[in-house]
Chains A and B, each alone.
Chain A
């Protein structure tokens, strides 16, 4: 198992702005997943991108994956106050459990 390393650790933006979070990992993967955790709540799966995909969209979320650089990014467009949360990237290798890193804490102010 391996964990992703998110960057930056913290990000503060205004409502309406875009938020970009980056993730790096160390070894080959089957897929990479992004999760969100609102304060005091459980984690919620946002999006999964497979190792043979380069980009994926879901609503206001856009995820990219560069397996040659072992990196991924999560873009949230037109941020809202409700997007305030911690975001985790989780690289997944078949047969192993998901290991979570420290995440990026996003604060969106109105």
Chain B
């Protein structure tokens, strides 16, 4: 049973399209995250939700919209895709920011924008 699962694993699309990446965790964690890893392998936090509430929103274009229907799911929707959005997107979860805050990561979703 995968603890944090992301779909799709690979996504190839054209500039201007809209796409979504889904994430689900079965660990009972309260907090979920989206991180972006660019071609230089630098991992940057994008968003964090705690019990469906947005708690962290780094400087991310408005084209990116996270949605958390319940605390086990955090989806990422991207509008009007640009070449610079090509990256690997990682979902993660933890018990919460005030705990030891150990992250469990998904396997990543590689997005390629042509």
A31 within 8 A of B: yes
B114 within 8 A of A: no
Interface string of A76-104 (1 = CB under 8 A from B): 00000000001010001011111110110
Contact B108 A31 (CB under 8 A): no
Contact A98 B103 (CB under 8 A): yes
CB distance from B32 to the nearest CB of A (A): 11
CA distance A92 to B102 in the complex (A): 9
Contact B41 A98 (CB under 8 A): no
Contact B101 A98 (CB under 8 A): yes
A61 within 8 A of B: no
A31 and B100 in contact, given A42-B105, A42-B108 (Cβ under 8 angstroms): yes
Contact A41 B107 (CB under 8 A): yes
Could you say which residues of chain B place their CB within 8 Å of the CB of A44?
105
CA distance A97 to B103 in the complex (A): 10
Q: What bracket does the count of chain B residues touching chain A fall in?
A: 20 to 34
B76 within 8 A of A: no
Contact B41 A97 (CB under 8 A): no
A74 within 8 A of B: no
CA distance A96 to B103 in the complex (A): 13
B106 within 8 A of A: yes
Contact B90 A92 (CB under 8 A): no
Question: CB within 8 Å of A: which of B80-111?
Answer: 90, 92, 97-98, 100-108
Contact B41 A103 (CB under 8 A): yes
Could you say which residues of chain A place their CB within 8 Å of the CB of B98?
94-95
A45 within 8 A of B: yes
CA distance A57 to B100 in the complex (A): 18
B residues near A, CB below 8 A?
33, 35, 41-45, 48, 56, 90, 92, 97-98, 100-108
